[in-house]
A = this chain, B = another copy of it.
């Protein structure tokens, strides 16, 4: 078994309203920053032990499917690195 960290990034699908990102962008603009868009995402770093990187990625993927992401409104991606 090897120790891995799987990083799951969960973002809203294109077209889904994101009022938090919109408010953050407006606040930055009020502070004088010039930006054309801002998107927010959640990032989960999961430490787990697995036989190899493929198994770690498969388990993180299942965690995203079952709990971390809502497939109706979210896309996600998984990246695995040895810890």
Contact = CB atoms under 8 A, between A and B. Distances in A.
Each complex incorporates copies of this chain amounting to 2
Given A28-B67, A59-B33, A66-B31, A40 B47 contact: no
Size class of A's contact patch? 20 to 34
A11 to B, nearest CB: 8
Contacts of A21: 44
What are the 9 A-B residue pairs with the smallest beta carbon separation, nearest first? A37-B47, A41-B43, A39-B45, A36-B47, A35-B48, A43-B43, A38-B46, A35-B46, A40-B44
Interface string A11-42: 00000000001001001100101111111111
A38 B47 contact: yes
